[in-house]
Structure 1
Amino acid sequence: MVTAASLDVPVSRRIDIGGITLNVREAGDGPLMVFLHGITSNSAVFAPLTSVLSRRFRTVSVDQRGHGLSDKPATGYRARDFAADIAGLIEALDRGPAILIGHSLGSRNSVTAAAAYPHLVRSVVAIDFTPYIETEVFDALEQRVNGGDQLFADRAAVETYLARRYPNLPAAAIRIRAESGYRAVDGGLRPLAAPAAMAETASGLREELESVYRAVERPVLIVRGEVSTLVSAAALAKTARLRPDLPIVVVPGADHYVNEVAPDITLKAIANFVDA
């Protein structure tokens, strides 16, 4: 049994939410704060945030379906599927409504969950994903995602690959990804993220999102990295015109991986938002 006393340090466990089992990392006690990572990633990447926020909140970082140590069904990688997972998890934890902190894929899923299940969501921090992302950006993303399913000789080879793929990530963030995102197989290491699931998830990121942003009524903070190549300045401006009531934070010098590149600024943005 997971208790508040046992959550002084993160605890990893699998939670059956009905139809799928999700792996989570929990820490702290207090209001529920759920963290949802980007495509091909996993729950461990939020450690720099949860190590601080777990002093005030019950932080629950999720391996989303198809990723990490969670189940990897053959189908079910649309926004509505991920949103249903979020709702099921909040209900299973029985501590809602939750503050959702989502990056990229997790941002899309968090806003979708807030629109579809408003009684389970208190607010959303939506990091570097908005409607209006350009087609050519999604084309490049799919190419990168599908190219990540490789066999690596060892952990050093993984770190070398990740450092090339994510040139702005600090060395500590690269180590977290290398240590948490791969499994031993014959001949070396392979990503935990399932290749077929990643392909379907990447395709699903092209789903229309404008109606979701129009519909969401819970508070949403939009965060963009100043030099993000996923969310262009034009896409952000168009989103601001769609929902001028939603606050926006642009993180100086950060690329798409805002919470890993600039955790201190991300923490300040989250604190200011949830305390407002």
Structure 2
Amino acid sequence: MTSDSPNGPWAERTLVRDGVRLSCRDWGGSGPDTLLLHGLAGHSGEWDATARLLRDAGHRVVALDQRGHGASERRPADVSRAAYVADVVAVVRELGLVRPLLIGQSLGGHTALLTAAAHPRLPRGLVLVEAGPGGAEPGLAQQIGGWLRAWPVPFPTREAAVAYLGDGKRAVGEGWADGLEERDGGLLPRFDPDVMERSLDENSRRAFWDEWAAVDCPALVVLGQGGIISRDEYAEMVRLRPALHGLSLPGAGHDVHLERPEVLGTAILDFVRREGLQSPCLGVHSTS
């Protein structure tokens, strides 16, 4: 079941899957269908600039607040990788998206990758922004949880939040600050660090190369030169998928979508044109 409410240039859409509320920003547009997935501790609004560019180019664009984030369920019991993937499938079905282009940054890119692997007939294409199969990283969840707990919250002003969260990059700080809410006399995150930690449990334990090898749709990987994907990881991604499209943006870090949204949007549109992804395959509507 879905419900809608207008909110400026986009409409908020809410659906419930297995008792978990999921909120989306629906930017409208006529197609091809496109679903945007933010990273850990992020929110759907991070994609606003990219969403606007894609919609204006003719895409139907939806950005999801993933479970535990933003306007979606804050403390879901299940934050496994499988639960995140099932949410994507539910959004695609409930909103009537037909073979969407899946675009995700960081953990959102990982969710997109796993969705494409588990449901090969669902996406027409895959765009991973600073995301890949990764590798076992014991202590990763605790390290990131510690960083999130160290935020000096509540931030007294938006400017203070932008300065802290951007660490010298204003566009990044603005994007993160947009995800805060005003309460308790200041600005606070719309997530809980322990939920974020649990969301990384499986990433801490293993790599996902089998899933990457199972992806059979056209794919684009966009990296920041100061990001988290190593040369070795990217080289292995190419070895397993020789037709992979790749782009590295000089001067950009992990938050490529915030630092260089216009360049990213143009790269996505070029990828769509090169691969002929403007229209879904006729008669293919299954998400299995």
2:161 matched to 1:162?
A: no
Query: Are the aligned partners of 2:36 and 2:64 in contact in 1 as well (CA < 8 Å)?
Result: yes
Residue aligning to 1:265? 263
- Cα distance in 1 between the residues matched to 2:51 and 2:108: 16
- What is the SS of the residue equivalent to 1:118? coil
Residue aligning to 1:11? 11
Deviation at 1:45, TM superposition (A): 0.7
Question: Cα deviations across residues 130-149 of structure 1 (Å, max 9, x unaligned)?
Answer: 12457389475454344348
Deviation at 1:78, TM superposition (A): 2.0
- Cα distance in 2 between the residues matched to 1:29 and 1:156: 33
Deviation at 1:11, TM superposition (A): 1.6
Q: With structure 1 as the length reference, what TM-score do the two structures score? A: 0.87
Query: Are the aligned partners of 2:164 and 2:173 in contact in 1 as well (CA < 8 Å)?
Result: no
- What is the SS of the residue equivalent to 1:72? coil
- Cα distance in 2 between the residues matched to 1:111 and 1:252: 24
Q: Which amino acid aligns with 1:100?
A: L
- Cα distance in 2 between the residues matched to 1:275 and 1:157: 41
Query: Are the aligned partners of 1:35 and 1:61 in contact in 2 as well (CA < 8 Å)?
Result: yes
Question: Cα deviations across residues 76-107 of structure 1 (Å, max 9, x unaligned)?
Answer: 22221111100010000112211111000010
- What is the SS of the residue equivalent to 2:97? coil
- Cα distance in 1 between the residues matched to 2:211 and 2:263: 27
Q: Give the one of 130, 152, 156 matched to 2:155.
A: 152
Instruction: Indicate the percent of aligned positions where both proteins have the same amino acid.
Output: 28
Q: More displaced, 82-91 or 189-198? A: 189-198
Q: More displaced, 92-101 or 16-25? A: 16-25
Question: Cα deviations across residues 212-251 of structure 1 (Å, max 9, x unaligned)?
Answer: 10111122211111221x1122221222223223221112
- Cα distance in 2 between the residues matched to 1:132 and 1:34: 22
Question: Cα deviations across residues 44-68 of structure 1 (Å, max 9, x unaligned)?
Answer: 0111111111121111111100000
**Aligned counterparts, 1:34-49, within 5 A:** 34-49=35-50
Residue aligning to 2:282? none
Residue aligning to 2:214? 215
Deviation at 1:266, TM superposition (A): 0.7
Query: Are the aligned partners of 1:145 and 1:199 in contact in 2 as well (CA < 8 Å)?
Result: no
Q: Give the one of 95, 102, 105 matched to 2:104.
A: 102
Deviation at 1:124, TM superposition (A): 0.8
Decide whether aligned partners of structure 1 residues 149 and 203 sit closer, same or farther in structure 2, where only a CA change above 3 A counts: farther
Query: Are the aligned partners of 1:183 and 1:192 in contact in 2 as well (CA < 8 Å)?
Result: yes
Residue aligning to 2:21? 21
Decide whether aligned partners of structure 1 residues 236 and 10 sit closer, same or farther in structure 2, where only a CA change above 3 A counts: same
Query: Are the aligned partners of 2:43 and 2:69 in contact in 1 as well (CA < 8 Å)?
Result: yes
Q: How many residues align?
A: 268
Q: Which amino acid aligns with 1:66?
A: G
Query: Are the aligned partners of 1:149 and 1:191 in contact in 2 as well (CA < 8 Å)?
Result: no
Q: Which amino acid aligns with 2:219?
A: V
Residue aligning to 1:245? 243
- Cα distance in 2 between the residues matched to 1:134 and 1:264: 33
Q: Which amino acid aligns with 1:209?
A: F
Task: State the Cα RMSD in Å.
Answer: 2.4
Query: Are the aligned partners of 2:102 and 2:125 in contact in 1 as well (CA < 8 Å)?
Result: yes
Q: Which amino acid aligns with 2:130?
A: D
Q: Give the one of 52, 70, 73 matched to 2:72.
A: 70
Deviation at 1:28, TM superposition (A): 2.7
Instruction: In structure 2, list runs of 5 or more residues that go unmatched.
Output: 275-288
Decide whether aligned partners of structure 1 residues 196 and 22 sit closer, same or farther in structure 2, where only a CA change above 3 A counts: same
Q: Give the one of 120, 128, 131 matched to 2:130.
A: 128
- Cα distance in 1 between the residues matched to 2:102 and 2:88: 9
Query: Are the aligned partners of 1:16 and 1:22 in contact in 2 as well (CA < 8 Å)?
Result: yes
Q: Which amino acid aligns with 2:9?
A: V
Q: More displaced, 139-148 or 94-103? A: 139-148
- Cα distance in 2 between the residues matched to 1:58 and 1:83: 21
- Cα distance in 1 between the residues matched to 2:93 and 2:149: 33
- Cα distance in 2 between the residues matched to 1:35 and 1:66: 16
